[in-house]
Chains A and B, each alone.
Chain A
Amino acid sequence: MKTKIKKLLEEGRVDGFFAYKTIHGFFFPYLFTKENMDELEDWKPSSARYPIAKLLLAQARKNPEKTYGVLVRGCEERAVHELYKWNQLDREKVVMVGQACTADLAADCECWKPFPTDVAYGEAVEPVAKSARVEMLEKMAGEDRLKWWLGHFNRCVKCFGCRDVCPVCFCTECSLEHNKLVETDKLPPDSSFHLVRAIHMGGRCIDCGLCEEVCPANIPLRVLYKEVGKLVEEVYGYKPGSDDGKSPFTFLGDELMLPPGPR
């Protein structure tokens, strides 16, 4: 890791690189530049996760002319891809270096692709095809499911952590703070808070699960968004985060203009 990223910085391929740094024995996301590149560490497998794509987005917005490198897991790579497609990041201004997740982490996440396209560090492990949690809920009777969810939503303290940590929550104006949609002075919020957020995850959520990790109330948000991802794939044939050339705007419906030329 040291050498590779250093090289990128030295050659001027990137103006900065998002990787991690061990502080007090914990991994922290960290922006390395030419100035501090000597602080770079050797890569170590870990389960530590952080909103690295979100940090990248914030920096890229501040310095649109600069190119950044980023050390990505499968989910983080997906986030970056999705941000390209939503016109939030410039593909030309990002360099990704991949790391594979451990089998344990992949199992925990029920991750459908626990590795990036190019794995520079670690070994790619088997993806998890189905989410047991989603299946469990799908089996429930509708009424029970509602009770189940309301029981969870009941704990929400509306800290907006789920949104703030989300790598694809890039909106400048957030609908969760829209007084008509989600009443501002209501705690716990009613289902509309969670449904509106779920809607916004449609066509965007790349299933990193940070929302659920940061939720102080332990609301199983990732299950909800996993279902959203499933629906989007079924209805729109779109899988957020994949680099298959498909536009997320099929989310809006069929292609609006037939592409020119015989088909």
Chain B
Amino acid sequence: MTDNDKSRNMLGSVMVIGGGVAGIQASLDLADSGYYVYMVENQPSIGGAMAQLDKTFPTNDCAMCILSPKLVEVGRHLNIELLTLTELQEVEGGPGDFKVKVRKKARYVDLDKCTACGDCTKVCPVSLPREYDQDLSERKAIYKHYAQAIPSGYVIDKRDKSPCTNACPNNVNAHGYVALVSQGKYKEALEVIMRTLPLPGVIGRVCPHPCEEACRRGQVDAPVSICAIKRFVADQVDVEDLPMPEITKRDEKVAIIGSGPAGLTAAYFLALDGYQVTIFEALPVAGGMLRVGIPDYRLPPEVLDKEIRAITRLGVEIKFNTALGRDVTVDGLFADGYKAVYLGIGAHGSLKLNIQGEDAEGVMTGVEFLRKVNLGELKDLKSARVAIVGGGDVAIDAARSARRMGVENVSILYRRSREEMPARANEVNDALAEGVEIKFLTAPQQVVVKDGKAVGVQCIRMELGEPDASGRRRPVPVEGSEFTVDADIIIPAIGQTPESKLLSDVTGVSLTKWGTIEVDDLTLATGREGVFAGGDAQTGPWIAIGAVAHGKEAAISISRFLKGEDMKTGRERVSLPQENFTPIPPGTKPTEREEMAALAVGDRVGDFREVEQGLTEEQAKAEAARCLNCMACCECEQCVSACKVGAISHLMKDENITLNVGSIIAAPGFKAFDPKLYDYGYGKLPNVVTSLEFERILSATGPFQGHLLRPSDHAEPKKIAWLQCVGSRDTHHCSNGYCSSVCCMYAIKEAVIAMEHSKIPLETSIFFMDMRTTGKDFEKFYNRSKDEYGVKFVRSRVHSVEAVPASDDLLLRHFSSEDGQLREEKFDMVVLSVGLETPPETVDLAKRLGIELNEGRFAVTSPFEPVSATRPGVFVCGSFQGPKDIPLSVMEASAAASEAAVLLAPARGTLARKPEVIAERDVAGEEPRIGVFVCHCGINIGSVVDVPAVKEYARTLPNVAYVDENLFTCSQDTQEKMKEAIHEHKLNRLIVASCSPRTHEPLFQQTIKEAGLNRFLFEMANIRDQGSWVHQNEPEAATEKAKDLVRMAVAKSALQQPLAEFKVNVTKSALVIGGGIAGMEAAMALANQNYPVTLVEKKGALGGHGRKLLSSWEGQPVAPYLDDLVRRVESHPLVTVRLNSEVKEVSGFVGNFRTMLDGEGGRYEVNHGVAVVAVGAHSYKPKEHLYGQSDRVFLNLDLDLALRDGNEMVKQAKSAVFIQCVGSRIPERPYCSKVCCTHSVENALRLKKMNPDMDVYILYRDMRTFGMREYLYKEAREKGVIFVRFDVDRQPQTELIDGKIQVTVIDHILQRPIVLNPDVLTLASAIVMEDPEELAKLFKIPVNPEGFFLEAHVKLRPVDFATDGVYVAGLAHYPKSTDECIAQAKAAAARAATVLAKDSITAGGVVASINKDFCSGCQACLNCCPFNAISYLEQEGCCEVNQALCKGCGTCAAACPSEAITLLGFSHMQLYAQIDEALSA
């Protein structure tokens, strides 16, 4: 490190992007070694793709079982801050000191309050596909990501505002009430409407519903009948039956002029706010235009009256026959004590025709006519002839009303054609059906007047000319086409205007040039303080819902005005984005839109009965079910009422946060390839699924609860095919030329698991190109799948998948790679083994991070710094670095953690939090005094179990000194209550009867710890997860069970003693065994974190096999890197290199090892806290293929040297042959050596480069150029390297004939032998282990049957041993390439650092303990301990537990014949007591 680096500000915190298994591992390693970690995850919870898997290969472990403890650990870690739903925005700064901006999306659920009880989900009306199940099952809009999710709280899926709601001028939550109707929750639906609209039945009838225009269902078939649904809700539930809202009365009086929709709405909301509201209405009836402008057959008066009553019952008073200007004035109102005035006078004036005779008797405007009809002022029109001028709704209303008044002869005169008519089409149709005649292209010229009375209209024909400003074609009179329409009543209905003369004497209120009232756009305030206006009077004639919107907005302004608040804050009009909606499910089938029944035409004339009859319940539900839930959450807020702890708020906002971190680790993971582009029917044929979907189908938590069923008909499949390389090794359908590395293994795994799951015999076939089972124990798994399970492997390219006609089965056409034949085969199901790819959003993330991606869109790294991104201080791991499996991801994650730790070594511990130390009360001598808290968990327990009865029962139990019940025992205030109870009642043990100790024990343990009790004096009775939730219909039995569980807990608790946790000091230095690349890298990674390292090498020099390697597979030369590494190791002040040395004795345990080395200068002792085993492996020296018999036969490593040294024989060679799998993948060595395919391809390319004319053959079994190495394979084929495949039982034959090499191999396609005479023969020989036994014994670490060291867990602990403090790296673990060796070495260092970073290790707690008096020294316990925690004391003749090593499984306790060993916290006596109490009732 340069001085410059040192001077830079170093922060002891790291940001880890991605909460998958790689991100989790990196975070835990860093947090465990003294750094503070921000874990940024864009999903609502962590776990990533691994959480979706059923089992993991090659051990078939349950993915969730092994992952879930890690999730919990992350969730609880003091030094990991989880930022879910969060995305990185911008990065500034450099290594050691980055400034990172992130955006955290609102969750709408307060995680501190949410108890994950699930009550919200039950009431949520919106069902959506569950992403976790790959859309194969459903979830609600408020949901838990998956059962074991961390954070365990719920989340609301909320997208952009639903188009319907957004399109409504009043933003009535259409989505909300439609969703509730779909669930039959009509009352709740009405309540949602009433939040913004107090006139649901009215608007549900008269609204021209712009919502439906916006409805996305229209993209599928036709919009949802939203308006009719609203009317249905209003018809279904009596608005007067809704509970009276609680209103806090206020003194201020507000006057409202006009009882139309604007005035009524303003009155409603002001009344809800507690104001004293009086409406002044000029007419003798309330409702304004709703009453006198809309005919009764469209809006029955009783509907309006009812809704007005619902408003007046809030205390709103209406003064009838009181007109502004005539009976009251604005000044007068203020003088009478009104504090604000709202002008909602409507637009009751009409535009004039401005033609001759317009003032004659018999001429009246549409508005006037309708008012008279509605007020019953017109009678006996039967003999009249009516002509109406205009083409809008008023004209139609007037015409249809006239028909209902008994007028036979009704004509509408309209100057344009049908297309241009502004009236709603269905209204026009109805009018025509009811016998109204419409004369199109007819313009009135004058009223024909006789005796002062109108007798007709003189008209002229029109024709359509050029479009005018409105876009409609302008009508042009046709010369000489005049004619007369006879009429007694002539009704111009060409437009309305406010009666502005009413306002002429209101000072301070000004009008626009159209005669409307001028107001502030946002607040609707007029120029005069305290006077507001809205509705048609302000907008000009508009739809009723517009007036409602104004009334509502004015109410807000008035309320704020009267409270002295700013009227504008937060009301800026923003246009909401309308992009992010729930996708329209691909399989959405068009359905017929339900229409309302209508009164028969014959029944309409002469009668004002309502025409439209409303939807039936069945229709309404069917319509509601058509909703696509665009916004996901419909904001009905049912969840808010259901949540007993008040955790939900729909008002939460997204947050922008800036974080300062020293380093960034990016592990955003992959996306499974979308195979729609392939001809495999995906998306169309339901039984063609992706591998990830199949994982969910197999999973016990999946859509079919783990029953193997196919999606189309839920039948059990009998034959399943897997198609490999879908979206991998393919540059035709996609640009993924790389191999995804994991698909071969997961396909085999899925086939095997499917066969195990299937209740009926299942045939499985895997269609593949090359079987790439390169990892540890993968080849054995492959072999077992063939030999033991009978999975069929078909080397073939699949051409297409089609439906078998008239069935759900699938026909698969494929070309065999064996013989080139086209074959057909029928399957019940096809699984597409989709590849891994970097999704566009991650590409975008890379841009924001400022790091480069390679041609496969994976992060660019170098082989010698495999986890370093191109931006210094930024590290990458997992499938973002390149497609890979879980163990490699985990390993890289640890490596990335190591790099970050090295970078930030000076700042270690500066930001990490330390747990608080609280003094513990000594309760040893006390009699047990147990406190029992029984939880209602809202209604989760309380509604099934009789909680008070359980509490009272607990009171009767021995040693119980205190009982209580809580609504939510886990809430923060209850923790305080519990602490108080402990002090007040001198409790020394505590029991909570509630949920599961797995989720809540740590919380309560912390509580009693804070109250001064040893945390192990806490016990739980699980009466929810294993009680009320599983016996919902048996309340009595559930109550009895709860009592039993409490009794059992009390009995156990009484026997519980405080458990000691103590510290064991750590020797802060490491021993690294093996001086190859892995050993040196591990040593450097530790020394650079300031830990002294002793590096032991058997040989006389450092470097190992790396010395023989020419280059990395990507072509970078190894020698310069290696020389530099050796130099750095040798010159590092903290590294002691011991050459020619070997480990002879090992004693001690994690943190405290003592090792004896034999080496130059004799024997010496090393004390160390950790050890890394990196002893390497060797090349198999073949006995076959003339090795050693001819100097023309090479191993790949030899060829490397020959090429480097310019070996003449190689240079001159005309032909070269490589034979793969020499010593690998054979019965005695059933593993793949992983690196040889790539190495041969690499050398083949070198030969071709040196001599393009050289014939180069590679004889192989499967080309295993996994990951990006596939590009190399592709290049080799392009450069003319010839690949010939052979079978394991038809090995190439090599002979020496006259000193020349002859290789004979049977070509598959040609089915005949090919004879080759190479000048150079290269054998890709196996990597083998030599003598690992001694070291294995010394460190008590296991090796597998092939001699490779066996890690603690192949998936999640790939560099750890079961023996704590010992780690593995490099080839000693398994064959691997240089970059992997380096990553693994760094990973081992990271894991080791988690020990060395601590001053001491905490031991004790739940561990085994031996009563030496009872021990016979038989050593049964010692032999069954998997952690070597028990030792035999020769002197005392008995055994002893090393509590620092004990992990508390208790298997030893069960093995001890004398019960001399017991597991503290789960002692024999406690188990007996629990058994006794379980059976004592």
Contacts and interface: CB of A to CB of B under 8 A. Distances in A.
B897 to A, nearest CB: 29
Contacts of A171: 1416, 1418, 1457-1458
B59 interface: no
A186 interface: no
Nearest to A251: B1420
Interface stretch (B375-383, B817-825, B855-863, B1341-1349): B1341-1349
A261 B1468 CA distance: 38
B1472 A256 contact: no
Interface in B789-847: none
A37 to B, nearest CB: 30
Interface in A237-263: 247-249, 251-253, 256-258, 260-263
B1423 A256 contact: yes
A258 B1342 contact: yes
Interface stretch (A41-49, A72-80, A173-181, A205-213): A173-181
B1413 A256 contact: no
B912 interface: no
Contact of B1346 (A87, A180, A262): A262
Interface in A94-134: none
Considering residues A88, A251, A253, A257, which has the most beta carbons from chain B within 10 angstroms of its beta carbon? A257
Interface in A174-205: 174-175, 178, 180-181, 200
A258 B1336 CA distance: 10
A88 B1472 contact: no
A263 B1417 CA distance: 31
Given A172-B1414, A260-B1336, A200 B1457 contact: yes
Nearest to A169: B1457
B1340 A86 contact: no
B1455 A252 contact: yes
B1424 interface: yes
Given A256-B1425, A257-B1340, A260-B1332, A249 B1420 contact: yes
Nearest to B1455: A252
Interface in B500-544: none
Contacts of B1426: 256-257
A170 interface: yes
B1424 A249 contact: yes
Contacts of B1458: 171-175
Interface string B775-790: 0000000000000000
Contact of B1343 (A173, A181, A258): A258
Contacts of A173: 1413-1414, 1416, 1458-1460
A182 to B, nearest CB: 12
Contact of B1345 (A178, A251, A263): A263
B1457 A249 contact: no
Interface in B1299-1346: 1332-1333, 1336-1337, 1340, 1342-1346
Interface string B746-772: 000000000000000000000000000
A260 B1343 contact: yes
B1419 interface: yes
A173 B1451 CA distance: 19
B1060 interface: no
A103 to B, nearest CB: 35
B1469 interface: yes
A170 B1418 contact: yes
Given A257-B1342, A258-B1343, A260-B1337, A172 B1423 contact: no
A218 B528 CA distance: 115
Interface string A52-72: 000000000000000000000
A87 B1345 CA distance: 29
Interface in B1424-1439: 1424-1426, 1432
Contacts of A86: 1416, 1418-1420
A180 B1340 contact: no
B926 to A, nearest CB: 24
Nearest to A247: B1423
Q: Give the interface SS of chain A, mostly helix, strand, loop or mixed.
A: loop
Nearest to A181: B1472
Nearest to B1333: A260
B1350 A258 contact: yes
A57 B412 CA distance: 123
B1416 A253 contact: no
A12 to B, nearest CB: 25
Interface in B1443-1471: 1451, 1455, 1457-1460, 1468-1469
B1232 interface: no
Given A260-B1342, A262-B1347, A170 B1416 contact: yes
A253 B1350 CA distance: 20
B1457 A262 contact: no
Nearest to B1421: A252
> Which of B1414, B1416, B1457 is most buried by chain A, counting CB atoms within 10 A of its CB?
B1457
B1014 to A, nearest CB: 25
A213 B701 CA distance: 58
B1459 A178 contact: yes
B1426 to A, nearest CB: 5
Nearest to B1473: A180
A175 to B, nearest CB: 7
Nearest to B1476: A180
B1229 to A, nearest CB: 9
B1268 interface: no
A53 to B, nearest CB: 15
A253 B1449 CA distance: 15
A180 B1472 contact: yes
B1415 interface: yes
A88 B1413 contact: no
B1347 A261 contact: yes
Most chain B C-beta atoms within 10 Å of own C-beta, residue among A86, A173, A175, A251: A173
Contacts of A251: 1420
A223 B1457 CA distance: 22
Contact of B1417 (A87, A180, A253, A261): A87
A100 B544 CA distance: 114
A195 to B, nearest CB: 14
Given A170-B1416, A258-B1342, A175 B1455 contact: no
B1423 A249 contact: yes
Given A173-B1413, A257-B1340, A262 B1455 contact: no
A17 to B, nearest CB: 24
A120 B1468 CA distance: 48
A175 B1350 contact: no
B1419 A87 contact: yes
Interface string A142-174: 000000000000000000000000000011111
Contact of B1416 (A88, A249, A261): A88
B1345 A252 contact: no
Contact of A252 (B1337, B1424, B1459): B1424
B1419 A180 contact: no
Contacts of B1337: 260
A252 B1469 CA distance: 22
Interface in B1018-1062: none
Contacts of B1416: 86, 88, 170-173
Given A170-B1418, A175-B1459, A180-B1472, A252 B1332 contact: no
24 contacts: A87-B1418, A170-B1416, A171-B1418, A172-B1413, A172-B1414, A172-B1415, A173-B1416, A173-B1460, A175-B1457, A175-B1459, A178-B1459, A180-B1468, A249-B1420, A252-B1424, A252-B1451, A256-B1424, A256-B1426, A258-B1342, A258-B1345, A260-B1332, A261-B1332, A261-B1343, A262-B1346, A262-B1347
Given A258-B1344, A260-B1333, A262-B1347, 20 more contacts: A87-B1432, A88-B1417, A171-B1416, A172-B1413, A172-B1414, A175-B1459, A200-B1457, A252-B1420, A252-B1423, A252-B1451, A253-B1424, A256-B1425, A256-B1426, A257-B1340, A257-B1342, A260-B1332, A260-B1336, A261-B1343, A262-B1346, A263-B1345
Smallest CB-CB A-B distances: 5 pairs: A173-B1414, A249-B1423, A260-B1333, A173-B1458, A260-B1336
